[in-house]
Amino acid sequence: AAPPPLLDLRGVTALYGHSQALFGVDLTVRAGQVTALMGRNGMGKTTTIRTICRLLPNRAGEMFLDGHDLSGLPPHRVARMGVGLVPEGRRVFAPLSVRDNLVAAARPGAWDIKGVVALFPRLGERMGQGAGTLSGGEQQMLAIGRALMTNPRLLILDEATEGLAPTVRSEIWQAIGRLKQDAGLGILLVDKSLRELTAVADSAVVLDKGRSVWAGPMTGLTAEHAARWLGV
């Protein structure tokens, strides 16, 4: 049987000022599983993520984490409830060292610097280095490491492999696979690589113009669906 939902969105809508961006998003992420959030550019993927993290208010619909209502909470409370966000554009604190970036994010739990280094050995060699001087791939690893240091139950990755060299991308995909398998995290993932998504995701949700138009097991997403909603 499928594990119960860790994250559950029903009919979520959201606005930027007067302009409505989400018109009804249904989405489920289960512990130990990856849900791919898909759709063409501008269809609402990042907006959905911002809404889950309460960086943007949801106007209607329901959002539950482990049965707890997220609606109305400030962003730091959502983080404290176990939602780790790796935002688009890998934002690390450039002036701080790698170690201090990790320490600053730390909250009590199973994850520590040793665990992050076991996942991304490259970071271990660069603990004292300024985060701003890391390569793009290393910064992305640090951004993921920082989210893990908060000891999340749900990890959200927005375009975590965008613009990275192929070898680094494959290291990050491997890490995502391990986080799902070994750490049992629920993962919500936005990425452009359909091939890699297909390999790691258990289920998928497709957004079109701010609405979820398809949801199901990743294996159920056909070439016809991909052509219609993803333009590939």
The first and second tokens of residue 223, run together, are 């070439």
Q: How many residues bind ligand ATP (CB under 6 A)?
A: 11
Candidate list 42, 57, 89, 136; residue touching ligand ATP; CB under 6 A: 42
E strand or H helix at 190: strand 186-190
Specify the stretch interacting with ligand ATP by CB under 6 A; choose among 23-31, 44-52, 69-77, 163-171.
44-52
Residue 44 in the binding site for ligand ATP (CB under 6 A): yes
Specify the stretch interacting with ligand ATP by CB under 6 A; choose among 39-47, 59-67, 116-124, 168-176.
39-47
Residues 45-74 that bind ligand ATP (CB under 6 A): 45-47
- Is residue 207 classed exposed, middle or buried when 0-12, 13-18 and 19+ CB atoms within 10 A define those classes? buried
Residue 41 in the binding site for ligand ATP (CB under 6 A): yes
Residue 16 in the binding site for ligand ATP (CB under 6 A): yes
DSSP codes, 151-184:
--SEEEEESTTTT--HHHHHHHHHHHHHHHHTS-
Kindly calculate the radius of gyration of the chain based on its CA atoms and give it in whole angstroms.
17
Residue 39 in the binding site for ligand ATP (CB under 6 A): yes
CB closer to ligand ATP, 16 vs 181: 16
Q: How far is the CB of 15 from ligand ATP (least distance, A)?
A: 9
Residue 167 in the binding site for ligand ATP (CB under 6 A): no
The first and second tokens of residue 201, run together, are 């995701």
CB 6 within 8 A of CB 154: yes
Query: What is the Cα–Cα distance from 59 to 98, expressed in whole angstroms?
Result: 38
Q: Give the binding site for ligand ATP (CB under 6 A).
A: 16, 19, 21, 39, 41-47
